[in-house]
Amino acid sequence: MRSPRQRALRTTLVVALSTAFSFSPSMLRADPQAAPADDPQARAAERKKAGDQAMELLRYEDALAAYGEAYAITKNPALLYNMGRALEALNRFPEALDKLMAFDAAAPLDLKARVPRLPTLIAELRQRVATLDIVTNVEGARIVVRNVVVGKSPLAAPLKLVAGPAEIEVDAEGYFGAKKTVTLEGGAAETVRFELFSRATTGVLTVRASAPSAEVLVDGKPIGVAPVELNVPKGTHKITVRHPDFRVYETSAVVPAGGYKAVTAALEAKSVVTRWWFWTGLGAVAAAGAAVTVAAFTERAPHAGTIAPGQLTTEASGGGGATLFQF
């Protein structure tokens, strides 16, 4: 089922392709498919018509290929617009932006006047495209973005990518590979840096903990919250894992050059007598017990009182005195 966006895009394209961006009469024939193979203009007209038909059927890949063939023959700037809209429908926004900007630069004013929304289209695409530069300390490292090899370091120019999450991998022979996940913001530029470590002099240390939110230190330096993975020089390293509810865990690990070493910290709960709340509670109970003891065993003199021996009377409702209590 076609989405509302696809239907709207199809309507826009059909109108544009059938009116604004037609070839000159000399390039169109009654039966383009019957044109001689050695007639490039007829071939271009046939390919353009095939592209229009593919767009109407939402076969955007086929349309893009047909328009590309026609443009290779004629260099007609109208085909740049058509290719840009096909690329947009395929969610290939960076390429679509390039085609529309090329059309904007190459098309004559009367042709651009037929696309009054061109500046808006370009502005909208810019918000869907992010610029990414990737820098590493090793020349010739392979760079992979979203599972596609985009080149080797240093890149000739920053990458134009669809905005959104992106996983970046960098690797080189003789070095440990590195990977990062970033969120690319549309209309913005970002630089991501990688430091690759030699397999000849370093290894990979992984530290996990049996409790969440445990802090990891390696050779006395805070690294982060477990689990952590880092490159360290080959040799012996001191590992410390701390958590407020558990005993401090300490151990040593030998990390081989070019290899891996994993350490799992089995954290032990602290003794109950070392917890502050136990002693606070015990102190409160002890204090209460002492107060009871003092109250129970301290003798006090009887209260002398202020009422003289005799009778205690009060006013009754009838006006006379009534005896309440007699000593």
Can you give the pLDDT at residue 47?
97
pLDDT(313) > 60: no
pLDDT(319) > 50: no
Share of the chain above pLDDT 90, in %: 70
pLDDT(35) > 70: no
Can you give the pLDDT at residue 281?
52
Can you give the pLDDT at residue 105?
97
pTM attached to this predicted model: 0.69
Of residues 180 and 326, which shows the higher confidence score? Answer: 180
**Which CATH number is correct for 129-194, 3.40.190.10, 1.20.58.220, 2.60.40.1120, 3.40.50.980?**
2.60.40.1120
The mean pLDDT of the chain is 83
Can you give the pLDDT at residue 272?
61
Domain range summary for the chain, segments of one domain joined by +:
4-126, 129-194, 202-265
The topology under which CATH files domain 202-265 is Immunoglobulin-like (2.60.40)
pLDDT digits over 199-254, tens only? 999 999 999 999 999 999 999 999 999 999 999 999 999 999 999 999 999 999 99
Can you give the pLDDT at residue 271?
74
pLDDT digits over 115-160, tens only? 999 999 999 999 999 999 999 999 999 999 999 999 999 999 999 9
> With helix as H, strand as E and coil as C, how does the chain read?
CCCHHHHHHHHHHHHHHHHHCCCCHHHCCCCHHHCCCCCHHHHHHHHHHHHHHHHHCCCHHHHHHHHHHHHHHHCCCHHHHHHHHHHHHCCCHHHHHHHHHHHHHHCCHHHHCCCCCHHHHHHHHHCCEEEEEEEECCCCCEEEECCEEEEECCCCCCEEEECEEEEEEEECCCECCEEEEEEECCCCEEEEEECCCECCCEEEEEEEECCCCCEEEECCEEEEECCEEEEEECEEEEEEEECCCECCEEEEEEECCCCEEEEEECCCECCHHHCHHHHHHHHHHHHHHHHHHHHHHCCCCCCCCCCCCCEEEEECCCCCEEEEEEC
Equal fold, 129-194 vs 202-265:
yes
**Which CATH number is correct for 4-126, 1.25.40, 1.20.1300, 2.30.29, 1.10.8?**
1.25.40
